[in-house]
């Protein structure tokens, strides 16, 4: 045997030993995965900061979309080169109560110049309520390269950054929507099973105000969409969406968010379904739990206006509010 061949054999034996050792390490990790909370994601994966966006306003690979709750805000001035999506027409079905269909959304995205490789950045007022819904819709229809502007429109304006009244002219894109991802959306039968404890693998989070959750009020003042029953879905934990927002309108750090939800038993060990009144505020919490903390989360977009109007479903009403009683 030559000195070289002997050296090669010894090297081969060492590599075999390493392979066995790695296998021994990997198998236990898989075996215990179900007992380990989902790791926290890096928040920068789906959040962009204003400085980055300001430097990429003219990047042809970036499409900026404003989705604000207040009508006419975009027209008064918007982030330069941003196009305008309206929640009531672009992201939902304008006739049936449903999200935008695959065909409807694909046409909307193409008209906005979105391609398969476009980085979509959404922002809006009210701490990104509707913008978070937009992220959920893009994810639902298979576009993964989508982000949200930290702090949204309000922080951009407060920081004195430029606004423009000019509506950009864009070329049509080639975005192709996939079949809706069933892992991101919950329906009435799903939450009824949770309420009746037929599904013990999923936690419910009600992100409305404490007064809405308790049944003291049916809806926030000034809102038209109502349910004829007050209260919440039995078993739901109340964590108002605004808990996740820092004083400057940005998302709180991931470690702080994790602590907030850990205190309510929402830690990634079980699946989560979030809801609010009509689904838009819950999208904000969906973003926090799914995109920042990395948990397995569905949005129940029917929310309380569906559940609170449904016949025969269980309801928890701590305050004992009764509809129609003055």
Which residue matches tokens 């193409």?
110
317: helix, strand or coil: coil
pTM: 0.84
Tokens of 108: 């909307």
- Could you confirm whether 276 is annotated as catalytic? yes
Domains of the chain: 43-181 (3.40.250.10), 185-307 (3.40.250.10)
What is the Cα–Cα distance from 149 to 50, expressed in whole angstroms?
Answer: 7
pLDDT in tens, 97-120: 999 999 999 999 999 999 999 999
Which pLDDT value is given to residue 325?
Answer: 65
What is the Cα–Cα distance from 276 to 241, expressed in whole angstroms?
Answer: 9
What is the Cα–Cα distance from 81 to 53, expressed in whole angstroms?
Answer: 11
What is the Cα–Cα distance from 80 to 64, expressed in whole angstroms?
Answer: 9
Give exposure, 27-55, as e/b (b: 16+ Cβ within 10 Å). eeeeeeeeeeeeeeeebeebbbebeebee
Decide if 292 contacts 135 (C-beta within 8 A).
Answer: no
pLDDT in tens, 251-310: 999 999 999 999 999 999 999 999 999 999 999 999 999 999 999 999 999 999 999 999
Low-confidence ranges of the chain (pLDDT < 50): 1-45
Decide if 301 contacts 231 (C-beta within 8 A).
Answer: no
Which pLDDT value is given to residue 324?
Answer: 65
Catalytic residue among 50, 92, 272, 276: 276
Which pLDDT value is given to residue 226?
Answer: 82
């Amino acid at each position: 045997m030559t000195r070289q061949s002997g050296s090669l054999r010894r090297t081969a034996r060492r590599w075999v030993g390493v392979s066995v050792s790695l296998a021994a390490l990997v198998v236990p990790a898989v075996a215990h995965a179900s007992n380990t909370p989902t790791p926290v994601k890096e928040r920068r994966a789906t959040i962009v900061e204003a400085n980055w966006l300001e430097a990429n306003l003219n990047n042809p690979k970036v499409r900026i979309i404003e989705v604000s709750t207040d009508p006419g805000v975009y027209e008064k001035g918007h982030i330069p080169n941003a196009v305008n999506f309206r929640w009531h027409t672009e992201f939902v079905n304008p006739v049936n109560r449903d999200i935008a269909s695959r065909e409807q959304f694909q046409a909307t995205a193409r008209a906005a110049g979105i391609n398969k490789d476009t980085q979509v950045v959404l922002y809006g007022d009210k701490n990104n309520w509707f913008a978070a819904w937009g992220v959920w819709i893009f994810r639902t229809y298979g576009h993964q390269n989508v982000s949200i502007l930290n702090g949204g429109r309000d922080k951009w304006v407060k920081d004195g950054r430029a606004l423009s009244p000019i509506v950009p002219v864009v070329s049509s894109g080639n975005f192709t929507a996939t079949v809706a991802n069933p892992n991101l959306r919950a329906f009435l039968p799903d939450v009824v099973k949770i309420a009746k404890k037929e599904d013990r693998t999923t936690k419910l989070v009600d992100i409305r105000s404490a007064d809405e959750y308790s049944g003291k009020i049916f809806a926030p003042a000034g809102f038209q969409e109502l349910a004829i029953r007050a209260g919440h879905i039995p078993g739901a934990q109340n964590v108002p969406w605004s808990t996740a927002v820092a004083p400057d309108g940005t998302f709180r750090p991931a470690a702080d968010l994790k602590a907030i939800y850990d205190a309510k038993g929402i830690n990634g060990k079980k699946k989560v379904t979030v809801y609010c009144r009509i689904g838009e505020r819950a999208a904000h919490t969906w973003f926090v739990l799914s995109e920042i903390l990395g948990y397995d989360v569905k949005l129940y977009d029917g929310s309380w206006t569906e559940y609170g109007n449904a016949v025969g479903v269980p309801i928890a009403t701590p305050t004992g509010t009764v509809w129609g009683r003055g």
